[in-house]
Amino acid sequence: MFWKFDLHTTSHIDQLLDREDVTLLELMEEDDVLQECKAQNRRLLLFLSQDHCMTELVNLITTEPPADLEEKSRFKFPNIACELLTSDVSLINDKLGGDTSLLETLYHFLEQDPPLNPLLASFFSKTIGNLIARKTEQVISFLRKKDGFIGLVLKHIDASAMMDLLLRLISCVEPAPLRQEVLNWLSEEKLIQRLTELIHTGKDEERQSNASQTLCDIIRLSRDQANQMQENVETDPLLAVLESQESVAGLLKTMFEGERSEASIVNGTQVLLTLLETRRSGLEGLMDLYSQGYERSYTVNSSILHAIEPHLKDFQQLLLNPPKKSAILTTVGLLEEPLGNARLHVARLVAALLQTSAPSVCQELCKLTTMDQLLDLFFKYSWNNFLHFQVELCVASILNHSAGPENQGEAGGEAGEPAKASDSVEETTLHNTLVAHLFQKCRLVQRILDAWEENDQIQAEGGARRGNMGHLTRMANMVVQNLEKGPVQSQISDLIKELPEDCRGRWESFVDETLRETNRRNTVELAFSDYQIQQMTANFVDQFGFNDEEFSEHDENINATFDRIAEINFNLDADDNSANATAFEACCKERIRQFDDAEEEEDIWEEKEINYATQVKSRTRLVKIQDWCVVSSLYLKLTSSPCSPEVGPRCSSPVGSSDADKQVKLGPDKSASPSAGGEWPVGEGRKAPLVASDSSSSGGSDSEDDDKTAATATETIKNAEVKRFV
């Protein structure tokens, strides 16, 4: 149907190509030019691959358009030109990668003075990156002949597109031998050293940030590719330089040289944190809190730790005297002295260093009392959860450390060789010193108790709960759990016993009462959806959720339901002949069938065949005579006369002989007629004729006339009752 009526859209490209004077810009005006190019439109590709068209496309992505053009259409043609050049069409790739003049035109873009237009820089980086992946040998050979290529790229490193270009050179070159040649070339060009020098106080912050991010990405890419290589390949020269002690020392010297700036310290610390990473970033690296979030998939090179150790005192000074920052107005008030990004990154670095369990580093941290300073900041900045988390990681690293095999080789040599037995003993001893330092010098238990009491006092005065109480609770639970079991259980037990008697009593009371109650309250489910235990029936949607009555105000107290039990009145007045009691009695008489002769009673347990037919049940009504005039006469007509076996025709209802004889035996007190006074006896029931019965009492078979007669009688009685109530 779609093709029958010619509803498909036809491209205008072919019609334009029929013209001899068609221009490139006219083709680029068409909306489907990119689609036709990717669809391998032969005529269009031949036109685009002409020398003058390729030159014009390259000029569009390397030359800034006139400033007087409208902004929304100013970069329209450069964008389309970039998409055409990177459409992954072999004809265009071969033409662009094999033509030296086109590559020279592209290269001249880097020779411009900074800053580059960020949009044009992205077009250039995307085009060169596509050529590196598709025409690797030709492009790499061309770039290696340019002596100043790396220098020009670093000159424009403030544009993030240049950072992407460097990463493509490292990660997108195939096969492996050619990639190794590229890495050796970049190492010879001293790429790592040049990037490290850019993280300097005197440089622009954007250049510092991009240089730092480039170094971090190089570390992760190199480690990932080395991990994926199955065969034994040469060592990545860039990664080897980055992990060398000289390179790390040069980075630290650049960070602390001259006037200290927060940008330089933060960007340099990010590189150090990446070097200390022993896990992959992202969801794969998420671990439990007590494992510090650092999966031991890599080993930390000892040269990195040896280079950092002499500068730990500089990081300690940053905690005491950070770069000056102006006051900040927050939601909890004016913060005169903000924590700052520099001190936060120092806390992250300390947490990463403690995870390595390097003996010399732990000893230096104890000597500098770095943990004591971090705990001071923890309680001073009670609303900075970024800091709270890092301090909690530090405490968890100290308490959950075990000198197992995986830790013994953690701070090994450059190849990650296992440490000696003597080193393991030294590590355990120094770690025990760190645990003792945490409880004795840092006074962890006393600080937890004091902070908890201060928070209780603030809340008692109507104040808000402090923001670090959640992390403080988890730190207290760490101490309790390691006191019960853990690698330093005995040492922690001895340290708790060494506490002053009053402090030890406060701690025991805190653990048994306050902390237990807090944990119980934290484990209570905040909400429960009852659909978890419901069956998925047809009316599930109607029954889903809660009723409005379940959320009444008086039910806020959990004991409200039980308190209302005392309000229930179980006393019943025997003389109170209420309507409910009367209705209940009438219902019972209606359902209980009376028998005059006990011998004719049926056995309710006897198996019998059931015939499903319509029945007109006997009804009982407690009324006065004036309300039953119409019903009385009608009822006499339906019961007494027609159903008598001796007078008139037999009732159409198939009542057996036993029922007929039973009807004759009825005495004057039980006859279906009114009393002498014209009234029905009060409280006595009147029985309507049975229309159908079971096989034990029925003497005939059902028919359509019987059903119609029974239905008519039932309808007549109902109508009479309706008139009575009206």
pLDDT for the residue 425: 59
Comparison of pLDDT for 1 and 451, the residue scoring more: 451
Residues in the chain: 726
Q: pLDDT band for position 708 (50/70/90)?
A: low
Q: What is the pLDDT of residues 513-531, one digit of tens each?
A: 999 999 998 887 666 555 5
Highest averaged pLDDT of the listed ranges 433-447, 483-497, 537-551, 591-605: 433-447
Phi-psi region of 230 (alpha: psi -120 to 50; beta: other; left: phi over 0): alpha
Comparison of pLDDT for 342 and 41, the residue scoring more: 342
pLDDT at 259 over 70: yes
Please, what is the average pLDDT of the chain? Answer: 76
Contacts of 657 (CB under 8 A, 6+ apart): 699
Mean pLDDT (whole number) for 436-454: 93
Give the 3-state secondary structure of 178-230. Answer: HHHHHHHHHHHCCHHHHHHHHCCCCCCHHHHHHHHHHHHHHHHHHHHHHHHCC
pLDDT for the residue 272: 95
- Ranking 85-94, 314-323, 356-365, 642-651 by mean pLDDT, the lowest is 642-651
Q: What is the pLDDT of residues 463-517, one digit of tens each?
A: 889 999 999 999 999 999 998 887 888 899 999 999 899 999 999 999 999 999 9
pLDDT for the residue 301: 82
* 510: amino acid identity, one letter: F
Tell me how far apart the alpha carbons of residues 56 and 215 are, in angstroms, rounded to a whole number: 36
> Cis link prior to 418 (omega < 30° from 0)?
no
Domain positions in the chain? 579-725
Contacts of 234 (CB under 8 A, 6+ apart): 180
Q: Crossing angle for the helix pair 501-509 and 444-460, nearest 10 degrees?
A: 60
pLDDT for the residue 685: 42
Mean pLDDT (whole number) for 138-142: 91
Burial class (CB in 10 A: 0-12, 13-18, 19+), 52: exposed
Q: pLDDT band for position 690 (50/70/90)?
A: very low
pLDDT for the residue 166: 93
Burial class (CB in 10 A: 0-12, 13-18, 19+), 240: middle
Burial class (CB in 10 A: 0-12, 13-18, 19+), 360: middle
CA distances from 10 to 27, 31, 40, 87 (A): 15, 12, 16, 21
Residue found under tokens 């992990």: 243
Work out the percent of the chain whose per-residue pLDDT is above 90: 37
- The answer to whether the CB of 78 falls within 8 A of the CB of 61 is yes
pLDDT at 419 over 70: no
pLDDT for the residue 120: 93
Burial class (CB in 10 A: 0-12, 13-18, 19+), 626: exposed
Mean pLDDT (whole number) for 123-150: 91
What is the DSSP track for 62-123?
HSPPPTTS-HHHHTHHHHHHHHHHTS--HHHHHHHHH-HHHHHHHHGGGGSPSSPPHHHHHH
Contacts of 681 (CB under 8 A, 6+ apart): 675
What is Dmax (Cα atoms) for the chain?
Answer: 134
Comparison of pLDDT for 438 and 11, the residue scoring more: 438
Mean pLDDT (whole number) for 628-632: 44
pLDDT at 562 over 90: no
- Ranking 140-149, 184-193, 452-461, 525-534 by mean pLDDT, the lowest is 525-534
pLDDT at 19 over 50: yes
Q: What is the pLDDT of residues 262-307, one digit of tens each?
A: 899 999 999 999 999 875 444 344 334 334 433 334 577 889 999 9
Q: What is the pLDDT of residues 157-168, one digit of tens each?
A: 999 999 999 999
Residue found under tokens 């409280």: 683
pLDDT at 713 over 90: no
Q: What is the pLDDT of residues 317-367, one digit of tens each?
A: 999 999 888 888 888 888 888 999 999 999 999 999 999 888 889 889 999
Mean pLDDT (whole number) for 42-58: 90
Q: Note the helical H segments in 409-549.
A: 421-436, 444-460, 469-484, 489-497, 501-509, 516-523, 540-543
Q: pLDDT band for position 677 (50/70/90)?
A: very low
pLDDT for the residue 670: 42
Comparison of pLDDT for 440 and 625, the residue scoring more: 440
Task: Using alpha carbons only, give the angle 87, 91, 92 rounded to the nearest 5 degrees.
Answer: 50
* 633: amino acid identity, one letter: S
How remote is the C-alpha of 513 from its chain's centroid? 34
- Ranking 94-108, 314-328, 369-383, 684-698 by mean pLDDT, the lowest is 684-698
Residue found under tokens 């008030």: 333
pLDDT for the residue 673: 42
Contacts of 20 (CB under 8 A, 6+ apart): none
DSSP class of 656: -
Q: What is the pLDDT of residues 569-617, one digit of tens each?
A: 656 565 555 677 777 777 777 766 555 554 555 555 666 565 544 444 4
